[in-house]
């Protein structure tokens, strides 16, 4: 079932009110900081992404061994090579769930996600926290790019493909660097409206992870 949901609105005056130090930074295949391209990597980083920050990127899959997980990188962005014959090196939900995690050295205001190999059938699900520990479901998007007006204050998040037929890459992400005085929000303090991130994929992910 297709999901058409919304822009992120944060409760409690948190991310949308957080002051920033500098202009928006884009990390990706065409941004002011760039992905490693044209290869496979067990992980990428930590790499300097500007604003005094570093970023670590890690792949994950819910059914295969970690020894087979690789980031597959090309001009369309980062995908996940999971060590199984699922037919694609994108982030996909075909047969198992692929995830790509992004960990910054300090909180950032995430303002945009841009995808590669994207089509009208794709949905990307977004979670705050660590895929290797505690995490919270934020919602899913079928928009490319997905804009987050005011930004979402996060230090670690991951993008997942939950459904058969979801095949995409993360081409770039844009963020602002908050000042030291910016508050860190609780991930559950979110209302998801309109046409950006939201949906029911969290329960599906938990069910498929437990298999």
Per-residue pLDDT reduced to its tens digit, 24-81: 888 886 555 566 667 888 888 898 888 889 999 999 888 767 777 888 888 888 999 8
Does residue 46 have a cis bond before it (omega within 30 degrees)? yes
Q: How far is CA 140 from CA 107, 114, 161, in A?
A: 21, 14, 9
Beta-carbon-side half-sphere exposure of residue 31 (alpha carbons within 13 Å): 25
**pTM, to two decimals:** 0.77
Residue 165 pLDDT level (bands cut at 50, 70, 90): confident
Q: Which helix (H) or strand (E) holds 101?
A: strand 98-116
Tell me the two tokens of residue 83: 């060590």
> Residue 113 in contact with residue 170, Cβ under 8 Å?
yes
């Amino acid at each position: 079932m297709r999901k058409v949901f919304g822009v992120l609105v944060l409760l409690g005056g948190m991310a949308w009110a957080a002051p920033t130090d500098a202009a928006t930074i884009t990390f990706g295949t065409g941004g002011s900081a760039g992905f490693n391209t044209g290869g496979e990597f067990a992980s990428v980083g930590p790499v300097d992404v500007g604003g005094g920050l570093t970023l670590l990127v890690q792949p994950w899959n819910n059914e295969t061994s970690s020894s087979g997980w690789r980031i597959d990188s090309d001009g369309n962005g980062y995908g996940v090579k999971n060590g199984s014959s699922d037919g694609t090196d994108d982030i996909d939900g075909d047969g198992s769930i692929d995830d790509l995690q992004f960990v910054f050295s300090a909180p950032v205001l995430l303002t945009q996600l841009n995808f590669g190999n994207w089509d009208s059938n794709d949905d990307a699900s977004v979670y705050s926290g660590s895929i290797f520990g505690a995490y919270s479901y934020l919602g899913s998007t079928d928009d490319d790019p997905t804009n987050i007006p005011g930004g979402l204050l996060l230090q670690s998040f991951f993008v997942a493909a939950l459904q058969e037929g979801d095949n995409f890459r993360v081409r770039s992400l844009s963020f602002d660097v908050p000042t030291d005085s910016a508050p860190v929000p609780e991930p559950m303090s979110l209302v998801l409206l309109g046409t950006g991130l939201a949906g029911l994929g969290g329960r599906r992910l938990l069910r498929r992870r437990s298999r």
